[in-house]
Structure 1
Amino acid sequence: MDAIREKIEQVGGVRALRARLDAEELSLLAEISADAGDGRGVVEELAPVLRVSTREVERRVDDSRSVVRRMPQLHAAMRTGEVESYGARRVLAVVDPLDDDTARQVDGLLAEKLTDAPETAWQPGNLAQRVRRLVEKTDPDGQTERARQARAERKLELAPGEHAVSSLEVSLPAEQAGACYSRVDAMARSLRHGGDRRTLDQLRADVAADLLLGRDPGVSPPEAAAMVYLHVPVDAALSLSDDGCELDGYGPVPAPIAREIMTNERSIWRAVLCDPGTGEPVDLGRTRRRPSAVIRELVRVRDRECVMPWCHRPARHCDHDHEHPWTTNSGDSDGGGSTSVANGGSRCRRHHRLKDHPGWSTRYDPVHGVTRVTTPHGATYTAHRDPVLTPTRHTPKRTAPKRTEPAREDPARTAPTRQAPGRQVSARRQLARAEPDRETTDPGTAGPEHHDDDSPPF
């Protein structure tokens, strides 16, 4: 028992060390944010350094500003190892709607309450509960406005999970969320009492999916109908292999699941023709007459994600970007300036705007799938795109971005073009048929450089 007790105390020491390191990170982020001024640029530069998403970096930067400026006592508690970043974030979620003076008042009262409090008071849930009471006491008249603000921020989020499962989270006003759950639960329990052998958790999930998809709830288990691209090698489709299947916007899925989606009559299909030598898509089955739409869709299929190395927003939610600015009379044989697959790339709205931001150099070679990004402070990251299917010859995969010293030239741009094997030449001929006449292409319908301000920024 003494050995176990000693290890428990060591775990406590690790937790206190983590809290102090969290406090140090918040201090540094607050200083960087104050010095840099441009929030978007510094967030993008911090993302590969912290090895988290840009959204998480934004949260940490916002937390750093709030803790350092508005909650100094909470920050001091972090420095002494009492509370980690998760507990601090729970506190900030409660005080965020408050003005700075009220937040500092709550911060001081919380410090007084915790002076002689037991260790359990520092647990995040208990800490947040104490702060709620202090906020209600300090600013009772603001409760209604805070509730209205929170209810106005209702949203729906899709979070990809593991093992071919994702989560759909809806933030709603409390009474609506409670009513929705009660209805789904009642329908699930009715089916269960009627002899359905699915568990209540399965039934609730299936009933909710049926209601959202407009089907008769609970009649049958939900089918795996697909409204996105499913990449399935021919041998996997024929059950000769179980490798290489991917669901657009999610990632690898087991081949049996892919075949279930593929054979579902409700799934929407497009033929994707790939060059067997490179594994890259070169053409799509035609269901539209305008070739510009085909090009944009083929670029989305090929890239699958935003081309920035640390961004994984699905390409279907990205802008179609011209790597070389669009021109009506481009003489570049590689497609420079034209509306073509060879000159197109998928960039989310956030990184589309960042492309021309002062100090940033973002280059994407669509043909070779190489992205090279140089930040305003000199760090350079290079990554390679994965082919849609596994190629028959070796091709570099999209790797984690590698940080290097700034370079004057982009090797992907200056390297000589290698003549492809005969099979690939045939594929390029197929691609040429999908390419519109450069002299007659309408930039307004072929993925122009301008941005639609009504689209959500990312």
Structure 2
Amino acid sequence: MDGVREKVERVGVVRARRARLDAEELELLAEIAADVSDDRGVVEELTPVLRVSTREVERRIEDGRSVVRRMPQLHAAMQSGEVESYGARRVLAVVDPLDDDTARQVDGLLAERLTDAPETAWQPGNLAQRVRRLVEKTDPDGQTERARRARAERKVELTPGEHAMSSLEVSLPSETAGACYSRVDAMARSLRHGGDRRTLDQLRADVAADLLLGRDPGVSPPEAAAMVYLHIPVDAALSLSNNGCELDGYGPIPAPIAREIMTNERSIWRAVLCDPGTGEPVDLGRRRRRPSAVIRELVRVRDRECVMPWCHRPARHCDHDHEHPWTTSSSDSDSDGGGSTSVANGGPRCRRHHRLKDHPDWNTRYNPVHGITHVTTPHGATYTAHRHPVLTPTGQAPARDAPARQDSRRQDPGRTAPTRQDPGRQDPGRQAPTRRTAAHRHPAE
């Protein structure tokens, strides 16, 4: 084991130690709050002790009460060093509106899903996404009502910052926010391609300011770049079920909310044809180097996110990457996509991971046909992730609360990865109905 690899392992040990200390702190705060009747007084007393703001002390006390009383399995995971306070807070934010019994039910289901889970499953964003799916499953009616209430509370906030800068935060329904960002990003990229020397971050900020102030940024966004996809199974669209609805770049959303978006008079729909046997969008092959808009669009719909196991950047904001380098001799008949410009040889990679792919010390491979990503870091850790199909394949039971990329595993050299039951295994006793999806574009204006 080289020196850097050893230090990487030590960082993991420090993180686990911090998680255990976070668990101890939350438990102590919950005990203190239970021992006193004056919450405000104890908060003021703890503020100089914890050296954080009074509001942060209040949050930690509430987190302590919730994790100890309502989420004992999550508390145990913290005590064993699996999850720190930030990850726990992301989980608690999702279950906060639930009653105690439902929260404990979600806690138990989450513990089951995380048995022998890979390291990437414990990342805060992945934890929160799993919990959202479990909440949707255990309390679908409440999830819908909470979504409606949150959408009614949309707002704009201005927060002063340092160095003569401020942040303008707009809280919007997810499909509208996604469409807004897509429009701003597309206009920024058009300016960049036109020779503008500003960075993409600077261009996005300046374009957004110009649009809000009524100034013309001087460019129109490419139509395809402003797409935001809403996947709705036909039975959910017809109100026959309330399962399987997902918003591109966000995750699962309640079916009633999805149907409201679907029936919005400003919505524009395009069919997404999928192979019912595989659950994947139909493939298209091309011989030219630059992918067509149709190929780019199908790859975005199919993969939904950057193909790196821990990256959740929406595919619509990623580069289109040829997994096998393009060659003029590539044949469309190649079963694995060869080096052709086709859906079978394409995948979305955010700019950072697109560049990382060609780094000599990293080995990153993606199989677009089977949706399998293999990543080996410069110091020997290997991660494997599987893409979750857009649809549940015909004859296969639905995957159990699977994220967009499931079974992401890490394997150390010389160590066998833990065996884990495949959540998407075929159940011969059940057959899922054939489904189609619809793609939704919500105008950004």
For the superposition of Structure 1 and Structure 2, which TM-score range results when normalised by the shorter chain?
0.3 to 0.5
Q: Calculate the TM-score normalised by the size of structure 1.
A: 0.43
Q: TM-score, normalising length from structure 2?
A: 0.44
Greater radius of gyration (CA): 1
